[in-house]
Amino acid sequence: MKKIIIKSIGAIVLWATCIAAVFLITACTPGVVNQPETPKETGPAESITQIDDTAQSTTGDQPWETWTECSQKPGDHPCNFSLVDQHGNVIELYDYYDKVIIIDLSSIWCVVCQNIATKGDEFITLYGEDNFIWITVLIDGPSYGVSPTPDEIQAWVETFNIQSPVLSGDRTLIDLSAETGYPITSWPTLVVIDKTMVLHNGLSGWNEATIRAWVESLL
């Protein structure tokens, strides 16, 4: 029990530190990002949002089959998700095991999110697609609190000429406790995951030097 309590406190401190950094960097903060008034059922612990209950990873037998729990706290295995990308394909987070991963949790209406929309392709070019992946998850569309439509996802991709994965999300991905979702308090929120699918850290807002340092420490 003591180990669990210490771990949880540590996670809160890490995320709180990142959230505090929003006052020093650029972010879209229309108040605290609200969770759904009535949280939706999200299925089993290993999946935050299931777009297709029959969706399976295409990578075969994998280490995560032995994992018994997950959370979005630093030091834990993040929960898997199945979301649809700009090409209509179902993508799972665990498909990218053995790569350093950035998850860019953004909203279409957010100007800062628009300003960093091309960073994914830039980072993949810089660090190499064999070692690194940037995944953008658009949680809000052009309207605050409203999930993006497929056409809005496609318009985002075409506007910024994005080649990296852009996934359609919703607010069931938000959980301020970091148990079943990400503790998003501003846009964008960046999450860095290492090659063994352990969540390294998270940052509210955008600070390129910090993100680069985290990624390079894990490559």
Domains and CATH numbers, the chain: 2-35+42-56+68-218 (3.40.30.10)
Q: Please tell me the total number of residues recorded for the chain in this structure.
A: 219
Distance between CA atoms of 136 and 166, rounded to whole angstroms? 5
Adjacent-strand bridge partners of 182:
174
Q: What angle do CA 65, 93, 62 make, to 5 degrees?
A: 25
Where residue 28 falls (left for φ over 0; alpha for ψ -120 to 50; beta otherwise) is beta
Q: What is the pLDDT along the chain (219 residues), one digit of tens a residue?
A: 333 222 333 333 345 444 344 333 467 764 334 433 333 333 333 333 332 333 334 445 777 666 778 999 999 999 999 999 999 999 999 999 999 999 999 999 999 999 999 999 999 999 999 999 999 999 999 999 999 999 999 999 999 999 999 999 999 999 999 998 999 999 999 999 999 999 999 999 999 999 999 999 999
Beta strand 166-168 with 132-140: parallel, antiparallel or unpaired? Answer: parallel
Ranges assigned E (strand) in 77-198: 80-84, 90-92, 100-107, 132-140, 166-168, 189-193
For residue 211 the two structure tokens come to 């993100």
Adjacent-strand bridge partners of 106:
138
> What contacts 10, CB < 8 A, 6 or more positions away?
74, 75
Adjacent-strand bridge partners of 190:
104, 203
> What contacts 213, CB < 8 A, 6 or more positions away?
none
* Inter-residue contact 141 to 150 (CB < 8 Å): no
Predicted TM-score (pTM) of the model is: 0.76
What was the pLDDT predicted at 25?
42
Residue ranges of alpha helices (H) inside the chain are: 2-20, 111-115, 119-127, 150-160, 208-218
* Inter-residue contact 122 to 90 (CB < 8 Å): no
What was the pLDDT predicted at 142?
96
What was the pLDDT predicted at 29?
61
Chain-centroid distance, C-alpha 159: 21
* Inter-residue contact 80 to 55 (CB < 8 Å): no
What was the pLDDT predicted at 69?
87
